[in-house]
Amino acid sequence: MCGIVGYIGSREAYPVILKGLKRLEYRGYDSAGVALLNNGMKVYKKKGKVAQLEEEVIGKDLHSHIGIGHTRWATHGEPSDRNAHPHLSKSGKLAMIHNGIIENYVSIKNELLKKGYSFKSDTDTEVLLNFIEDIKANNECSLEEAVRIALKRVVGAYVILLIDEENPDTIIAARKGSPLVIGIGKNEHFLASDASPIIEYTKEVVYVNDYELAIVKADELILKNLGNEKITPYVQKLDLELAAIEKGGYDHFMIKEINEQPDTIHDCLRGRLDPVAGTITMAGVQNNMEQLKNAQRIVMIACGTSWHAGLVAEYIFEELCRIPVEVEYASEFRYRNPVINKGDVIVAISQSGETADTIVAIEKAKEQGAFIFGVVNVVGSSIARLSHAGAYTHAGPEIGVASTKAFTAQLAVLTMVALKIALEKGTITHDRYMHLLNELHEVPEKVKQLLAHADAVKNIGLKYKDASDFLYLGRGYNFPVALEGALKLKEISYIHAEGYPAAEMKHGPIALVDEKLPVVFVATKDAYYEKIVSNIQEIKARKGQVIAVVTENDNVIPDMSGDIMFVPEADEIVAPMLSVIPLQLLSYYIGVAKGLDVDKPRNLAKSVTVE
């Protein structure tokens, strides 16, 4: 997810663009850049936040009334000056910014390389830009027509803003799958990823739809479809305030990010999992398959929520790949004198890629000859760079301190990795591989379905918000989900909560149970179902208040327990991506009901870069 801003009109373009980029930094902050037109093209760009760009341009010629700006969340090509947007075409006459992923950029790049093109960056954006310029030159057509032709060939998601030194009075924009808003001013237009950079100038906006092209001049906005037919712009009046816009209309980043999960899990699978071909494409796995499939042991190293993802992965990898797995708290691993054998595979899981304990732990393992596979969200982060190979989770920036969409994206990536290794090793049949691949493919839609019942979870949250303690219980794949649910509640509502294997209750913790204690069971239909029904009866018998996450066709547990949260049926291996979401929602609604800052809980930081 990146932030894009464009301006054309009578104002100085640079200040408008810079301020807009700052408003959009929540969408990505790996690098920032701006392209301005005035007696030629001027492009200034810099790795880091928008503040770094501001320093970079001190003393530079910034006078212009037309420009485009970009704040990046890296997907292709790690954060750097050369991978920062805007990109220049080979001729240097075109500059473009892009938000999205061009999935077929490699084939397009190969065509251009054969034509003698060279590339300054690793980005898919530079490929698309030169593809457009190549079409314009070879077809002797307008830039607008070249964009239309190019976009018909493109597979993936995009918003692009393009300016041309030879037509300094026009911005060309197009979108498919990523957002684009155009603000209508008096003889001026504003373009952005959302309305936050626009709202202080005008409340009249046009939301550009998929497969639409916008030709924007100071005093004219033309919308067309890819068939070159004009479309009448539908002008709307903004009724959101600035703060709400950054959160996409949600009250908090946390609830926004919980609701993004159908899209972020889809983004994680996109370009990798192909249910028709029955393939999972992951270069980091494919290129290291010998190392991975012959591992004598896999050690998952992480902290917090990422550690819980490692626990789920332990069940998945042992079940599918028949490789022994250990899951280590990075903070403990780094101070022990762990036994690391050559040939061990370390899976380092981290949203930020900057967690100090995890960094030191994998450095220690690497020194002893272990192979490091990173599962990271932030492209080009320290852990990504320390790893021998890896797979990004593509969940986009996670602003809320509580990790939600990053967790489900981690599970999606880890499940794909395990499936690839298991198929290669022959430890699962092709039928089971295809079954699980389809189960994984269906997760985004099932997440969307269960999010429709968020209000039911909210009511449960309101009912139990004043409890002083909670227990979270689960078995098998849902045991780590119980731990994750307890962590979410602790860090968002400050209520004490413990996660336990449900069967462990009889070894002591059941002494805690009385009529004041809410006990949350993660009890979806799986191999452990009959057992967990018995565990629920044990708690009911002691007057515990039972709350349960169950499969929507369950007609046993709902009759037994007080409050139910339903999730769609799914194979137990992918079920955690579903069963965790009611628990994310429960912690959110309780935290809000208690009037707490759910995006920035006390004592916590988004990335723990210190010991």
Catalytic residues: 2, 606
DSSP states of 150-215 as a string? HHHH--EEEEEEEEETTEEEEEEEEEEBS--EEEEETTEEEEESSSTTTTTT-SEEEEPPTTEEEE
User: What is the nearest approach in angstroms of ligand AGP to the Cβ of residue 273?
Assistant: 23
Phi, psi for 24 (deg, rounded to 5): -105, 5
For position 497 contacting ligand AGP by CB under 6 A, the verdict is no
User: What is the nearest approach in angstroms of ligand AGP to the Cβ of residue 299?
Assistant: 16
Phi, psi for 317 (deg, rounded to 5): -65, -40
Site string for ligand AGP, 299-318 (x = CB under 6 A): ----xxxx------------
Exposure class string for 473-489: b at 16+ Cβ within 10 A, else e: bbbbbbbbbbbbbbbbb
**Which listed range, 211-219, 399-407, 435-443, 503-511, lies at the site for ligand AGP (CB under 6 A)?**
399-407
User: What is the nearest approach in angstroms of ligand AGP to the Cβ of residue 381?
Assistant: 9
Nearer to ligand AGP, 221 or 309 (CB): 309
**Among residues 125, 130, 350, 535, the one that binds ligand AGP under rule CB under 6 A:** 350
Asked if 330 and 281 count as a contact pair (C-beta separation under 8 A), the reply is: no
**Which listed range, 99-107, 182-190, 401-409, 548-556, lies at the site for ligand AGP (CB under 6 A)?**
401-409
DSSP-assigned letter for residue 27 = G
Asked if 287 and 332 count as a contact pair (C-beta separation under 8 A), the reply is: no
For position 457 contacting ligand AGP by CB under 6 A, the verdict is no
The Cα 218–Cα 7 span in angstroms is: 9
Nearer to ligand AGP, 125 or 305 (CB): 305
The DSSP bridge pattern shows strands 188-192 and 181-185 to be: antiparallel
The Cα 554–Cα 4 span in angstroms is: 46
Nearer to ligand AGP, 355 or 551 (CB): 355
**Among residues 170, 264, 358, 545, the one that binds ligand AGP under rule CB under 6 A:** 358
User: What is the nearest approach in angstroms of ligand AGP to the Cβ of residue 604?
Assistant: 6
Nearer to ligand AGP, 304 or 396 (CB): 304
**Among residues 402, 437, 574, 581, the one that binds ligand AGP under rule CB under 6 A:** 402
**Which listed range, 5-13, 161-169, 267-275, 297-305, lies at the site for ligand AGP (CB under 6 A)?**
297-305
For position 381 contacting ligand AGP by CB under 6 A, the verdict is no
Strand partners, 545: 518
User: What is the nearest approach in angstroms of ligand AGP to the Cβ of residue 595?
Assistant: 20
Distances (CA, A) of 257 to 135, 254, 406, 510: 39, 5, 9, 35
Q: Which of residues 403-442 bind ligand AGP (CB under 6 A)?
A: 403
DSSP 3-state of 515: coil
Asked if 390 and 414 count as a contact pair (C-beta separation under 8 A), the reply is: no
The Cα 187–Cα 287 span in angstroms is: 54
Nearer to ligand AGP, 392 or 566 (CB): 392
For position 608 contacting ligand AGP by CB under 6 A, the verdict is yes
Q: What number of other Cβ atoms are within 10 A of residue 98's Cβ?
A: 27
Q: Percentages helix, strand, coil for the chain, rounded to the nearest 5?
A: 40, 25, 35
**Which listed range, 30-38, 113-121, 400-408, 513-521, lies at the site for ligand AGP (CB under 6 A)?**
400-408
**Among residues 202, 331, 351, 387, the one that binds ligand AGP under rule CB under 6 A:** 351
User: What is the nearest approach in angstroms of ligand AGP to the Cβ of residue 43?
Assistant: 33
For position 352 contacting ligand AGP by CB under 6 A, the verdict is yes
Q: Which of 308, 303, 285 is nearest to 478 (CA)?
A: 308
For position 360 contacting ligand AGP by CB under 6 A, the verdict is no
**Which listed range, 11-19, 41-49, 258-266, 349-357, lies at the site for ligand AGP (CB under 6 A)?**
349-357
Interaxial angle between packed helices 304-321 and 405-425, expressed in degrees from 0 to 180 and rounded to the nearest 10: 20
Residues interacting with ligand AGP, by CB under 6 A?
303-306, 350-352, 355, 358, 401-403, 491, 607-608
